[in-house]
Structure 1
Amino acid sequence: MRFAMLLTVLLQSQGVLAGWLWGDDEPLPQVQVAEPYVEWRTGPAEGYPVVRVSEKGEWLTLLLRKTQWFKVQDDQGREGWVHVDDILLTTDGSGELVALSEPRFDDYETRSWEAGVLMGEFDSASVTSAYAGYTMTENLSAELWGSQILGNASEILMVNANIVHQPFPYWRISPFFTLGVGQVYIKPKATLSEPEDRTDVVAHAGLGLRFYVTDRYFIRAEVKDYKIFTERETNEEATEWKVGLSVFF
């Protein structure tokens, strides 16, 4: 449930951030019906009933696309769904047939920013992490992470700065390696001995895979080995694995 809520926030914020970065002032595209008629349906599938018909010469505003269907609106504010094949038979303001650019998964190469939410285990304790990253070169990116780790004996908050190397950035399933440093704040749960809270420096090395689902979304899975530098006689080690969803901006 917690993971679903975090993913919902991520997906909703993607639209907000995109509007902040590129602006929301651009007018929505409009097309003119060139065939004798175009059928509207109540939903984006053939199984939905036909709700109305637009005749030749009517103008439609394209609101959004969902797979092979466009949500449209007429000049009276009515909305419905039209198949992409019918949209391809409409014309633009110059009278030319509409040309649609199909999104490709490798369009991610033009994007510099990304963010994601991942969940997994940190040394057998539940971990939830969020990050933001910036692509510096074709193979290198910098990331800032925040994690919450909930164990039986303590609650841990961790912040890391990472460098990520992708040797094959154009592969749809792309491996990567990561190195990073950060700080960990450990708050032990109440016991008879009342142990004190502590803050330690942490470093890690890891590897993982990125699977590009669309031009904007990808699944990320990774494993990291941590070294926690304590003020005690010995340092501590931990292994972490996580998987989650990321989005490009």
Structure 2
Amino acid sequence: MSNGLVLQPSVKSSSTADWHDAVVYVVDDEAPVRRALATLMRSVDMHVETFSSPEEFLQHPRPPVPSCLILDVRLRNKNGLTFQKEILQSGLRIPVVFMTGHGDIEMTVKAMKAGAMDFFAKPFRDQDMLDAIGQALARDATRLQSELALAELRASYETLSPREREVVPFLLAGLLNKQIASEMSVSEITVKVHRGQVMRKLKSRSLPDLVRKAEALGIEPHEVRPSSGTSGTRQ
């Protein structure tokens, strides 16, 4: 075909069959290519949105669902590789699959180094494109899950009282309750209560679990000064 695509009979790809809620965005300034790709995506029951320019794509609302961008390298008013850089700089984290009718090794290397998922020279096999899209959507789904988990963790951390937050760095340092009590000038039973609340509110089943969550939140362990008399007595 003149648009560089090789359309085949509609057969569901195992890599895309379960992505009904996902969105595949296509940016290409050639209408026949956009139509052919849209037909391919819809043949496997995927939702697709097509755009003739990067600007049109950026103005379109994007729901928080797994998605990927199929991007032509050579656009009329903007180079696709340049647009990829702009996407990264803007903080838009979406997997990009490049396609071009004039690809070369240098261009492919640049795209992959910049984080592209794949690079296709036209014409390409439909199944290869579907497989690449499936992998891109899987990566984006993982990213969304991680961001959601982090947002929930931050919300949980916000429920801690000031004193409970003060206890956290000491817990990360591995101090005993009596050592934390000495550092904070409170009773050991008070520390025990705060410790229990921290573990409950952050849904931490163990100290290593709390450490992992604290790292995700950017919380550093408390540095115990040698003069405090607590060095060498950590858990």
Instruction: Looking at secondary structure, tell me which structure has more helix per residue.
Output: 2
Higher relative contact order (CA 8 A, sep 6+): 2
Please identify which structure carries the higher strand content.
1
Scaled by the length of structure 2, the TM-score of the pair is 0.24
